[in-house]
Amino acid sequence: MEQWVTNIMEQFGYVGILLMMALECIFPPIPSEIVLPFGGFMTISTGLTIMGVIVTATTGSVLGAVILYGIGRMLGQDAIEKIVTKWGYLLRVQTSDIQNGINWFDRYGYRAVFICRMIPLVRSLISIPAGIAKMNMTIFLLFTLLGSLIWNVVLVLIGVWLGSAWRKIIEFMNVYATIIYIFMGIGLLILFVQLLKRNK
């Protein structure tokens, strides 16, 4: 996967970066943790600029998010869960992932779209509950743009800083993701306990 992603980016430059970031939102096995640091490295080894990579990557992120938002809005939760149940193994997505995104959106509302843009895997899936909830499109685009921009700037600059050692970011991001998922699990557990107390 990594080799294919980097080959596309090397061959097509900005267009390749835009395409990979749009696909990353729709197809989680393509991780932004590869696309963005490598894009940063390319500003050293090719004629690409840091600003160009950031703008292109963010455009791709927003485009992919809008596609998932549209899917969520058109199909609804039940239809999406049926699709994931049948085909989710191809995307490495489970119905529980969709439900986690919905829980985040239910708990934090519009803010979840911004916050989740900086959490691996969830950053892609949060667009679906936003679409299901028919979130205001202007606010969705604004929060998606801001959250994606912060995430993209940080990872691109890390790629520039690491240079040819850009792959080191993958190890760090695995630790980062694990910590975030632990906190998410604790948060959901607390929410579950609060709901039980409220029902009693």
- Give pLDDT tens digits for 59-115: 999 999 999 999 888 888 788 878 777 766 666 666 776 776 677 677 777 787 888
Q: Which residues have CB under 8 Å from 127's CB, separation 6+?
A: 25, 64, 65, 66, 68, 69, 72, 113, 140, 144
DSSP annotation string for 22-39 = HHHHH-TTS-HHHHHHHH
Q: How far is CA 99 from CA 15, 25, 161, 194, in A?
A: 33, 17, 37, 18
Report whether 169 contacts 155 (CB < 8 A): yes
* Per-residue pLDDT at 144: 92
- Number of structural domains found in the chain: 1
**Residue 129 domain boundaries:** 2-199
Query: Residues 127, 138, 24, CA angle at the centre, nearest 5°?
Result: 30
* Per-residue pLDDT at 178: 61
Rounded CA-CA distance 122/19 in Å is 20
Question: Which token pair is 143?
Answer: 């929060």
* Per-residue pLDDT at 1: 58
